[in-house]
Chain A
Amino acid sequence: MKMEDMPLSGPDNTKLEALVHDIYSELVEDACLGLCFEVHRAVKQGYFFLDETDQESMKEFEIVDQPGVDIFGQVYNQWKNKECECPNCKRLIAASRFAPHLEKCLGMGRNSSRIANRRLASNNNMSKSESDQEDNDDLNDNDWSYGAEKKARKRKSDKNQNSPRRSKSIKHKNGELGSSVSSEPYKYNYNTGISYETLGPDEVRSLLTTQCGVISEHTKKMCTRSQRCPQHTDEQRRAVRVFLLGPSAPSLPDADTVVESDSFDIPDGQTLMSRLQWEDSPDISPADSASSKASTNHSDSRRPKKKKRPSLGLNSGGGGSLTGGGGSSSSSSQSNISLSTKKKRPKLSAPSISSIYDDLN
């Protein structure tokens, strides 16, 4: 900067200041002239006075500037304190609440039908789930009303097919609807993630089979995204599993290695044992037959596809077997996890299997 910004001392500067002012005056005159031309043209063309009418109308629509009144002269909250009598229920309702009240009162309108449907659904589920729980004491042990929740979820997904708020409700109930595919009965707080301290070991295991589960440093909560969430690496996931489930925890499911049957390369006492146990399983209740079938498929596909993790072999061997409700809990739990991790693609079967086993255990 060669010159100063402010008009200051020195002959040069005064001259410059004069120059500055001259330029400024020129600009202002230019603006005025422009305005004059504009107005003159408007007058000559006849559109200058268009916004003026007779005096009376002008007075009528003058801008009002009084307090308590808007510029049109209308009182702003005139109807706020008025109450109307509902023709249906004969109550006195405030004017601003009148329309929504009428909607609900008469039972017409989008919202009221949706609410009614939901209430019906939940009522049915309540009555049904109670009867279920009386039959099975075992079911009571685990998380609340697994059966009811399953049915409720199913019902809700049916009922809300056509309602305009469907996407919203799905978003809200992401913990339920979204994971109805992997219907696991754990306390799911979608917004804030899961705190691993509040969960039991079974829940943790079932959680870790479907979710990333990496514990955030800041919030101490487990990541609720999928197994392949980009925020966390597989190493982290493995570390979390080791941390939560012990050193013998099953390692991570890898999407590529859906069926990782390296087990058969590693003969292990436990593998043999668990396989023996598995062979017993077809005798047991039909509820398990589905799971045992799945396990059959699983162990049949022995081809060592991708030997990414040799450690996986142990667990896949364990996974090859499913105990029918009995057997060592550790191996069964491990098998649960590895099975469900293996069966990542046909997602429907695995989580339901693990949850069945959770209930039985």
Chain B
Amino acid sequence: MSKESRMRATINQKLTEMGERERLKELLRAKLTECGWKDQMKAHCKEVIKEKGFEHVTVEDLVVEITPKGRALVPDSVKKELLHRIRAFLAQHAT
């Protein structure tokens, strides 16, 4: 197991060091905005805020409400593309 965790650590490190993580993040953000995911989530946020009263809403509230829905709402094409890219990166750089 430690071997595995070491491998994970290495890969994560590599991801960050080579800037691939940032690139992937940007890619994901762009794709989500493009496909309308962001607007959907914002609308949901509005509801949550109206529910909780917007004076007292905290980040935690939002996170708790938003994240599960956000994960579910990511369109398949975006997911597939990201997975593909991550796999490609691993294939190149995994020992």
Q: Which residues does A use to contact B, with CB under 8 Å? A: 1-7, 15-16, 19-25, 27-37, 39-40, 43, 48-49
* Smallest CB gap from A39: residue in B: B45
Q: Are B70 and A2 in contact (CB under 8 A)?
A: no
Q: Is B57 an interface residue (CB 8 A)?
A: yes
Q: Are A31 and B59 in contact (CB under 8 A)?
A: no
Instruction: List 4 tightest A-B contacts by C-beta distance, closest first.
Output: A32-B70, A3-B91, A36-B62, A39-B45
| Closest CB in chain B relative to A28 CB, distance in Å | 6
Choose from B38, B71, B87, B91 the contact partner of A28 (Cβ within 8 Å): B71
The secondary-structure label for the interface of chain A is helix
Q: If the complex has contacts A21-B83, A27-B25, A43-B49, are A32 and B66 also in contact, measured as CB distance less than 8 A?
A: yes
Which residues of A sit under 8 angstroms from B24, Cβ to Cβ?
27
Task: Bin chain B's interface residue count.
Answer: 35 or more
Which residues of B sit under 8 angstroms from A20, Cβ to Cβ?
83, 86-87, 90
Q: Is B58 an interface residue (CB 8 A)?
A: yes
* Smallest CB gap from A21: residue in B: B83
8 Å CB interface, B64-88 against A: 66-67, 70-71, 74, 79, 82-84, 86-88
A115–B55 alpha-carbon span in the complex (Å): 71
Q: Are A40 and B57 in contact (CB under 8 A)?
A: yes
A39–B71 alpha-carbon span in the complex (Å): 17
Q: If the complex has contacts A29-B71, A35-B41, A40-B57, are A5 and B84 also in contact, measured as CB distance less than 8 A?
A: yes
Q: If the complex has contacts A21-B83, A40-B62, are A28 and B70 also in contact, measured as CB distance less than 8 A?
A: yes
A315–B11 alpha-carbon span in the complex (Å): 85
